Amino acid sequence: MARLYHFMLCPFSRRIRLALGEYGVDAELIEERPWSLTRALLKLNPSGALPVFIDDDRVTVAGIEAVSEYLEETRAGTGGAATLLGATPVERAEVRRLVAWFDVTFHRDVSRNVIVENIERRFAAPEHGGGAPNMQAVRNSLSHIRGHLDYIGRLVEERRWLAGDRLSHADLAAAAHLSCLDYLGDVPWSASDGAKGWYARIKSHPCFRPLLADQIRGMPPPRSYADLEF
Amino acid sequence: MARLYHFMLCPFSRRIRLALGEYGVDAELIEERPWSLTRALLKLNPSGALPVFIDDDRVTVAGIEAVSEYLEETRAGTGGAATLLGATPVERAEVRRLVAWFDVTFHRDVSRNVIVENIERRFAAPEHGGGAPNMQAVRNSLSHIRGHLDYIGRLVEERRWLAGDRLSHADLAAAAHLSCLDYLGDVPWSASDGAKGWYARIKSHPCFRPLLADQIRGMPPPRSYADLEF
């Protein structure tokens, strides 16, 4: 069976867990903690970036872009799995533009700080950056979230999914980041009906179920996190 | 003719300029300044990320991952241009792993700070972050560069190019970042014979020539920058 090295509240790992569900790939999940990676993980990916996917034939694929493109190349169109990248170069360009919107811009402006301050500071040893969270940094980052919800809302006014008519890695990337913040109770869904409606749709997909069952020990999510009518 | 919105010392823009040369694509270059983007650019890519490629047929492709994959999909294998991503999913996974090494890890640890402090602080207006560069931040970032040169050196001990037998986006990404720092005279090439030999090889490729002619007004590069025997 394939294996995925991941961390529950790593948005890149979450995107691949969602993609595995959509492509219909079973994988054993192996938990890593980004603030104290195992030697096994660093051997698989010297940069330390999660996730890392080990295919059935032991091919190692490291890092979010490598894994997402590898799964599309090897799993889309097989066994009934649809493409998650798009059918033409132009469609794929739009999916990849929006993936970068969330994996680069949203991550830099919002999710990275919120996750580092709330999770890594809490669980890491002091020598690995543990300590009191910088709540001002968290508030600064969260102040940017409404602009992104607005953007999602504007996209789904004109499209069924973020990049077009079909679910794509753009939706999975956006949902992966937002679901990490939602686990922490930090998404003001009432700020955008459009974004909320889009998230309700993707949250009810079967691929989302494993994520909704996630529980970090000593840090349970709010009840709304797993509620399909949040 | 195709167009590329770029900035001379943006490593992502540089990678695409190199790729255009390798794929044999002519494009008009339109200069943008990351610290004061034009409205035209923000209309093409609301996230503001460079580069943006406008194809002959006016298709807009925004952001480094979207542009690099789009060019591979539409230009590799045409008119004699070879693939820059690899021939199999496994080869492409290795190329994309190394691209992330430079575009994510090297950028975060080294090139972003050096470029922001040396270029953006100098040219940006105070309201856009201009001012005195933080030279301590520059020194901290540059202290990480030797580890990366070592890594390049180890890779080319066993491979002709970074990801395998053929030149790929991994080489272009690494060379794009390092050439920005080289423009500033900040690469200690004597630290790794292997990395220096690899850079000498890629620097002498025809695709590199336009980059070696770059001149930022009021900030010329050191003589070694354009010298093939640096």
Confidence of residue B36 (pLDDT cuts 50, 70, 90): very high
pLDDT in the model for residue A79:
73
Contact criterion met (CB < 8 Å) for B69 and A101: no
Contacts of A67 in chain B (CB under 8 A): 93
Could you please report the per-residue DSSP string of chain A? -EEEEE-TT-HHHHHHHHHHHHHT--EEEEE--TTS--HHHHHH-TT-PSPEEE-TT--EEESHHHHHHHHHHHHTTSTTPPPSS-SSHHHHHHHHHHHHIIIIIIIIIIIHHHHIIIIIHHHS-GGGT-SS--HHHHHHHHTTHHHHHHHHHHHHHH-SBTTBSS--HHHHHHHHHHHHHHHTT---GGG-HHHHHHHHHHHTSGGGHHHHT--BTTBPPPGGGG-TT-
Distance CA B43, CA B41 (A): 5
pLDDT in the model for residue A208:
97
Alpha-carbon distance values, B42 to A96, A117, A202, B127, B154 (Å): 17, 31, 29, 18, 40
pLDDT in the model for residue B154:
97
The ipTM, to two decimals, is 0.96
Contact criterion met (CB < 8 Å) for B97 and A73: no
Confidence of residue B27 (pLDDT cuts 50, 70, 90): very high
Domains of chain A (ranges plus CATH)?
2-75 (3.40.30.10), 89-226 (1.20.1050.10)
pLDDT in the model for residue A128:
87
Which site among B96, B103, B169 would you substitute to test the A interface, given the most A Cβ atoms closer than 10 Å to its Cβ? Answer: B96
pLDDT digits (tens, 9 = 90+) for B159-172: 999 999 999 999 99
Å between B114 CA and nearest CA of chain A: 18
- Give the one of A46, A73, A89 whose C-beta lies nearest to B89's C-beta: A73
Distance CA B178, CA B63 (A): 20
Considering only alpha carbons, which residue of chain A is nearest residue B61?
A: A93
Distance CA B223, CA B185 (A): 9
pLDDT in the model for residue B79:
73
pLDDT in the model for residue A81:
79
pLDDT in the model for residue A77:
83
Distance CA B126, CA B171 (A): 36
Averaged pLDDT for residues B38-48: 97
Contacts of B100 (CB under 8 A, 6+ apart): A47, A49, A63, A64, A65, A66
pLDDT in the model for residue A58:
93
pLDDT in the model for residue B149:
98
pTM of the entire predicted model: 0.97
Averaged pLDDT for residues B192-210: 97
Q: Where are the alpha helices (DSSP H) in chain B?
A: 11-23, 39-44, 64-75, 89-100, 112-115, 121-123, 135-142, 145-158, 169-183, 193-203, 209-212
pLDDT in the model for residue B81:
79
pLDDT in the model for residue A113:
95
pLDDT in the model for residue B77:
83
pLDDT digits (tens, 9 = 90+) for B95-129: 999 999 999 999 999 999 999 999 999 999 999 88
Å between A195 CA and nearest CA of chain B: 18
pLDDT in the model for residue A14:
98
Contacts of A47 in chain B (CB under 8 A): 97, 100-101, 104-105
Confidence of residue B143 (pLDDT cuts 50, 70, 90): very high
Tens-digit pLDDT string for chain A (230 aa): 999 999 999 999 999 999 999 999 999 999 999 999 999 999 999 999 999 999 999 999 999 999 999 999 999 987 777 999 999 999 999 999 999 999 999 999 999 999 999 999 999 999 988 999 999 999 999 999 999 999 999 999 999 999 999 999 999 999 999 999 999 999 999 999 999 999 999 999 999 999 999 999 999 999 999 999 99
pLDDT in the model for residue A117:
96
Distance CA B162, CA B189 (A): 17
Q: State whether residue B105 sits within 8 Å of chain A by CB.
A: yes
Q: Which of residues 21-80 of B touch A (CB under 8 A)?
A: 45-47, 49, 59-67, 69-70, 73-74
Distance CA A139, CA A128 (A): 23
